[in-house]
Chain A
């Protein structure tokens, strides 16, 4: 059977698949900005953008490692509680007179420890990551509440400054978030590790047989996610000026997952881009901010956010399934037909 070379077709298909979800989201983010700018004169101000950045920063810091976990076919549901643990530990230490930097580092270390435990349970016992981290979600919240039965507040000024201070007009928190995205993007694009994470998500057994140390990498991702969640906790505590153990980061894990999946990362693993995650975080941040400015009740905002996630996931599914979204967006030309390309270079032998 002759084998034709659909070079251009194949490349085009790959390009469209890779970028369809991110492009749709980019358009969504821009549209959102236009809509809110039209509705509310306060929206397009530097002060408000500063707010959006500060409010999105904690989400961003955790969304990046969570995206890597999802791409590798895992998930960490405990990040909301780990965030609380990080904030509470740092806050308690500060109130006991510890200096700011060591207090933050120990807070992050607490979250790292949770990550280590999650990672060991998932890789050694091969329990489902959903079960392991669901347990951790509950247990770690309990730990945080045990450590600080009452809200921790009254932090030193230097710490609170970290939450709303800025350098050259850019909030500190936004810088941290930017660093998280930069590191995530570089790791995924330029480190061998990045390709290994995709490979594990696509076919863990083949990855193992190719000599990739699958367990080591998955373990590492859980540790980094735990550390990042705790760091987000210290950031949130600094911003709010308090660390209420019972409510800090409550439901945060779902918000992170929303942003990551909105950004085109497949919940089933193997697919996703850090740039998409950036857009997902921005989209959620802008949406939340705009709805607040419009005095939309919190309950209504929840419904809108939930609906957005489902619509986004559906659009993503459409784009991957049939390239339908890509055609929709470009509004041009004949639909690329990846299935046909597959048949052209396919063969009967293996499917008999």
Chain B
């Protein structure tokens, strides 16, 4: 058996990411690994590739159990891992990339490029693809790069190939082609562990399925012996129907906070949508469904948009963040580290940066006013520690997110519509509860509105009044009241966006 994992356990800072996981992969099988975000998939792969050291348990490739791998010994044990983010050098040729770090050298120390090209060609032939080994990697499509990664892995003649969401960045046709190539590799005797979010893919190419949830194996089954419902329930065992907090209250009185008609933006639309006063509306979708693009377009990040947007009954054309803010529209973007936190600046600056002129005057800051606003907001948000001058870097992820959300909750200018893209990305349960409370409180006062995206059904159930499911840039379902279950949401999103991804 190419891979046997027994009782693998790994904790981060007291929290178990993997809790006694067993996994068996037989020769010549494609094994799909599924699970919601944070279920331990990446940790498991990290241990198998030697990037992480497990706390307990053993792994065996080809029969010899070891307690840990290093990246080198993993390779020696004939395991090759392909990550979501490519490790290719774009300016080098395909052949140079395949042989990077393990070049063929002639006597005298010169590269034997002819031999490298020939062997690269052979590897690509084995995959059944037509790529010129001399082409620079930068000239290839994403799908072709993926195949070059696989060719690079095959060069080490692995018995087990591990792929971490290989189709996440691919279009539908490329994803199908990749599936066929993987089946081809399996038929030649290779074992493949395949991480994915896509049920469609699982049923097309996998032989066996393992679902992780909360660091444990929630389901282990042959593909032939299961169906979509069983897998969905293993991923999100929310059980029965869930009453949303405001059941099916009609959108309340008068003009909505936001109304979209035939709204179009790159990758989005046409969309009709309405956020009533005091409402918290979820846009649930998989990765690539257009959920982030919708919010970004409303904030004015994507240039021209089509259709009509009305804000509190007045026409609104999203053009740029500073203009949107002047109309009371604010966005908390999805990628905290890259798009919202100023790691080296103090907490108070992170929270109040857009409001300095409003707290004082455009030409003179009021430091006392800033401290007062910070203290008040930090207290309301239970920011820990509430130290104005500590750099954002020294805060935990959850508290950094509070600073960023607090940026708009502390606002002196009136924010009427808050857009939240994955509001609780990478933060722990306690901080999540705090944020949900904050956001609900925000919407409830002064009849404001909140539109947020999430790929986590539990989050949607905890926060939303109403759920819109988005797939391929369009809204495909509206769920309200007692019809909302995690399963229903996932089912809608998967059905409509079969080749899109959580």
Contacts across chains A and B counted by CB atoms under 8 Å: 136
Q: By the criterion CB–CB under 8 Å, are A213 and B362 in contact? A: no
Q: By the criterion CB–CB under 8 Å, are A6 and B396 in contact? A: no
Q: Residue of A at shortest CB range from B393?
A: A342
| A330 within 8 Å of B (CB atoms) | no
Interfacial chain A residues near B427, Cβ < 8 Å: 347, 349-350
Q: Residue of A at shortest CB range from B392?
A: A202
Bound complex: CA A195 to CA B348 (Å): 11
| A192 within 8 Å of B (CB atoms) | yes
Interfacial chain B residues near A198, Cβ < 8 Å: 342, 345, 349
Q: Residue of A at shortest CB range from B429?
A: A349
Q: Residue of A at shortest CB range from B15?
A: A348
Q: By the criterion CB–CB under 8 Å, are A212 and B38 in contact? A: no
Interface size on B, residues (CB 8 A): 53
The B-contacting residues of A in range 1-60, CB under 8 angstroms, are 1, 3, 5-7, 10-11, 13-14
With A11-B389, A270-B344, A351-B12 as known contacts, state yes or no: A195 contacts B339, CB within 8 Å: no
User: At the interface with chain A, which of B216-224, B311-319, B350-358?
Assistant: B350-358
| B340 within 8 Å of A (CB atoms) | yes
Identify which of A195, A203, A345 contacts B396 (C-beta below 8 A). A345
With A1-B15, A10-B385, A345-B385 as known contacts, state yes or no: A209 contacts B349, CB within 8 Å: no
The B-contacting residues of A in range 292-346, CB under 8 angstroms, are 338, 341-342, 345-346
Interface string of B470-486 (1 = CB under 8 A from A): 00000000000000000
Identify which of B338, B344, B399, B425 contacts A271 (C-beta below 8 A). B344
Q: How far is the CB of A322 from chain B (nearest CB, A)?
A: 15
Q: By the criterion CB–CB under 8 Å, are B322 and A211 in contact? A: yes
| B341 within 8 Å of A (CB atoms) | yes
Identify which of B301, B362, B428 contacts A349 (C-beta below 8 A). B428
| B410 within 8 Å of A (CB atoms) | no
The A-contacting residues of B in range 323-381, CB under 8 angstroms, are 324-325, 331, 333, 338-346, 349, 353-354, 356-357, 360, 362-365
Q: By the criterion CB–CB under 8 Å, are A206 and B397 in contact? A: no
| B13 within 8 Å of A (CB atoms) | yes
Q: How far is the CB of A316 from chain B (nearest CB, A)?
A: 14
Q: By the criterion CB–CB under 8 Å, are A1 and B385 in contact? A: no
Interface residue ranges, A against B (CB under 8 Å): 1, 3, 5-7, 10-11, 13-14, 190-192, 195-196, 198-199, 202-203, 205-213, 270-271, 338, 341-342, 345-352
Interface residue ranges, B against A (CB under 8 Å): 12-15, 17, 38, 42-43, 299, 301, 321-322, 324-325, 331, 333, 338-346, 349, 353-354, 356-357, 360, 362-365, 384-385, 387, 389-391, 393-399, 407, 425-428
Going nearest first, the 8 A-B pairs with the smallest beta carbon separation are: A348-B12, A192-B356, A348-B13, A350-B426, A350-B397, A10-B390, A5-B385, A211-B325
- Pairs A–B under 8 Å by Cβ, sample size 17: A3-B399, A5-B384, A6-B385, A14-B391, A192-B360, A203-B343, A209-B301, A211-B324, A213-B322, A271-B344, A347-B396, A347-B427, A347-B428, A348-B14, A349-B12, A350-B426, A352-B43
